[in-house]
Structure formats: structure tokens, C-alpha cells
Amino acid sequence: MNENAINQLSLIADSHGVYAEDFADQLMSKYTSLGLMLTATVLAMRQYIFKPIQCWVPAEWPRPWEEYAENYCWIQNTYNLAFREPGFPGLQAREEAEISYFQWVPFLLSIQALLVFLPHLLWRVTSARSGGEPHRIVKLASELASTGKPKRKRRKMAEYLAKQLRKSIAIAGTVTGSRLPCCGSNGCACWLFVSYIVNKFVYVLNGLGQLYLMKTYLGYQDLHFGWSSVSHLLNERYWQQTGIFPRVTFCDIPIKQVGQWNTRSVQCVLPMNMLNEKIYIFLWFWIVLCMALQVVYCVFWIASIAPPAQRLKFMRSLVRLESPHSGLGPAVDTSGMRAFMRDHLRLDGVFILQMVAEKCGNLCAARILGPMMRHYEEGDSGLSECDITEITDDRDRSSRSTLPVRENGRVDNGFHHQ
């Protein structure tokens, strides 16, 4: 493994739970994944610690025979018959009516928990490979937003974050070989933003894949099975008519007696299916809600960042918040602001500041923008150097170090007045 790969992995592992993601991303990757794992754990305990199946066996069978029949039916699947259907169908019809999914529900939920987490990992890897550090910046911005730090430390941290934001934008801008409209001879000004929007679509595709996986595994006919199940319940069409998540099933047990094999059919009850049905109905609506929120937030990000007028409006609102603290004038020249956004902040910088505002508030984003604007107006060659260990709490000093910066001849680490 080369040094660049090691550095990228270290950046991914050093975010400590605070990431450049909005509420929709966290709802799907963090809370949905955690909920699925907890549900899988509860169902696994119910299946393998307690008794998941109860069979009605002939009265002459002793207790060991009853336990054997229940264990056999649990591992060998059962089959569902139409409610109150007289007689038993043939062998082929029984095989077609077999129900095999209820034993594997905890494992399926665990797999779904891992799958729903994949877009989060993809975004972290993509952002790390770009050279930018949006997750580290958002994490430190959350510390800047805390009210328990002295004023001097907050000021130094704002200076530090402004410097690292400028470096991240410059490094991310060196991405080459891209055909994005915002990429040119001077680098790519929107690599992080475009990657984030693409990851939104990955989240939506992931949700559709989850619905398809559940539909295929549970034997439904269409993707809107959750809505159909609720409709059946409201119309008093229960499992006896639908055949989905049956509570009462049948099982054929082969028994060898006096040199020949005989088959005994027993009736079993599956109380777990009552819980499984409610879980998957809720999960269907939850995933649909998560996908809808992803679409809404995707539209929000595009409408907030893509139009130049919206970016300018957002930046001017931050300057108005910061002007009493930084000495900037309440009214900033429009042409100067556009030049600053074009030459230094660029689209990715506005995106990171918007993410900081989303996670930590507009005032926190304004405190980071203030030093950048002040040094830009003064025409300084760069922002003041400071070590992150000087501005963070003592309890965190052992786990943090100065953010690494990639050496590249095209990266401008300071500001030059235009």
C-alpha cells in the first residue's frame, strides 16, 4: 500500500463521527443502519434463544418427538395452504407453497444494514481521493461552534479553519482528467460538489435496491408491497387471504418405521411472522421516506449552490453576520465578492461553507469566512500559521495533528489580491 493510500485511509478514519453530510444522509446511513442492526439482533435472539415455532403434534408423541418435529420444521421450511382448504395438495404443490424466508430475516436485515451504509463510505472515499478535507473541516467547525471555548481560541480556530479551507479548495481543484463543465486548465472548481450530488443519486438507487431485495426475498409481486400490505389490513384482508407472512403453516416429517419411510404432516404456528410483517411494512415506508428526503435535499443543494446568484446571496449573508467581528464593511462590493468567489473560494468552497452552515449554523460559517475575506481585501500572501493542538481542548490533543497538505506546484496556499 503506497503512502497516498495510507494518507487517504487516515483521513477517513479521523472524522470521529462528524461528517460533511446533511440530515437526509445521516438519516439513511447512520440511523437506518443502526435501526436495522438492532432489529436484526432482537429477532436473532428471539429465534435462537427463545422458541420461534410451535407445532401441534399427535398426543401419543412424547416430548422428545415434539421437540424433534419443531426443530425439523424450523430448518426444513414449512408450506402454506389456503385457509380452511380441505385436504392436502400434492408433493409438487407443497414444494411451490414452501416458505423459507422467515428463518433468514435477521441475516437479511444485517445485510441491508451494511448495504445502506455503502453510499456513506463511497462519499468519504471520494472526498478523500479528491484531496479536500470537508469532513475534517466540518468536524473542527462543530468545535468552533461550541460555546465553552475562550474567545481567543475561537478566533485562532477560525483562522486555522480558513487556512485549511483554502488549502482544501486548492488541492481539490487540482483534480485532472475530468470532463465536468466547471473543470478547465486551472483545475476543477466543483469536484466535491458534483461528487456529493452524484452520491445523492447513489442513495436513491440504494433505496430502490433495498425495496427490490425485500420484494424478491419475501415473494411480493411489485415494489409498492408496503402500501399494498397496509391497504389489505385496512380492508380486513389478513394473512389467511393474502398468504403473506402466514402465522399457521404445515410441515411434512419423514419417519422411518419398521424398515420403511412414512410421512406425517403437522400443523405449526409462527408467531415471529406477526412481528416480521410489521417490521417490513414499517421498513418499506421508512426507506421511501429516506429516498424522498434525499431528492428534496438534492434539489435544495443544487438550487442553493449551482446558480451564481444564490451563491452570491449566501456569501453576502455570511459577510453581514461577520462584519461586526472582523471589521469588514456591512456592504461588500458585488464585483469584488464575485472575484473572490471565482479566484479563491470557488464553487467547492461555497459548498463546504454551506455544509458548515447546515451543520453548525450560519454564524460558524461566517467566522470561517471572515479571515479569508479580510486577508483577501488586505492583499496578504497567506493566512497566519497555527497548530491545531494550540486551539483544541487538552483532552483532544493526543488524537489530533496538523492537517496534512499535498505538495503540488499548482496549489496556491495563500491569497493574492486581484
- Write out pLDDT tens, residues 18-66: 788 999 999 999 999 999 999 999 988 888 888 888 888 888 888 888 8
Q: What confidence score (pLDDT) does residue 4 get?
A: 53
Give the Cα separation of 410 and 171 in Å (integer).
8
| The pLDDT of residue 379 | 61
Range name among 70-84, 86-100, 333-347 with the lowest pLDDT average = 86-100
User: pLDDT tier at 225 (50, 70, 90 boundaries)?
Assistant: confident
Rounded Cα gap, residues 31 and 56, in angstroms? 41
For residue 263, give the H/E element and its range: strand 260-269
User: When comparing pLDDT for 372 and 206, which is higher?
Assistant: 206
The total of other beta-carbon atoms located within 10 Å of residue 295's CB is 14
CA distance 213 to 198: 22
Query: Residue 267 is inside which H or E element, if any?
Result: strand 260-269
Alpha-carbon distances of 266 from 66, 254, 375, rounded to whole Å? 10, 11, 82
- Give start and end residues of each alpha helix (H) in 306-345: 308-326, 334-340
Residue 404 has what pLDDT?
A: 41
pLDDT in tens, 358-414: 888 888 888 888 888 777 766 654 444 444 444 444 444 434 443 444 444 333 433
* Percentage of residues of the chain with pLDDT beyond 70: 71
Terminal CA-to-CA distance of the chain, rounded, Å? 42
The pLDDT tens digits of the residues spanning 277-307 come to 889 889 999 999 999 999 999 999 999 988 8
pLDDT digits (tens, 9 = 90+) for 190-204: 788 888 999 999 999
> What sign results for the dihedral spanned by CA atoms 30, 31, 35, 41?
positive
pLDDT attached to residue 89 = 63
Taking all residues of the chain, what is their mean pLDDT, rounded to a whole number? 76
- Contact (Cβ atoms closer than 8 angstroms) between residue 358 and residue 22: yes
pLDDT in tens, 230-255: 777 777 666 555 567 788 888 888 88
pTM equals 0.77
Q: Give the model's pLDDT for residue 155.
A: 80
Q: Using one digit for the tens of pLDDT, what is the confidence trace for 78-137? A: 877 765 666 666 666 666 667 777 788 899 999 999 999 999 999 998 888 776 788 888
Q: Give the residue-averaged pLDDT of 327-353.
A: 74
- The domain locations on the chain are 19-175+188-378
Q: Is the pLDDT of residue 138 over 80?
A: yes
| Side-chain half-sphere CA neighbours of 93 within 13 A | 8
Residue 259 has which C-alpha cell?
Answer: 424398515
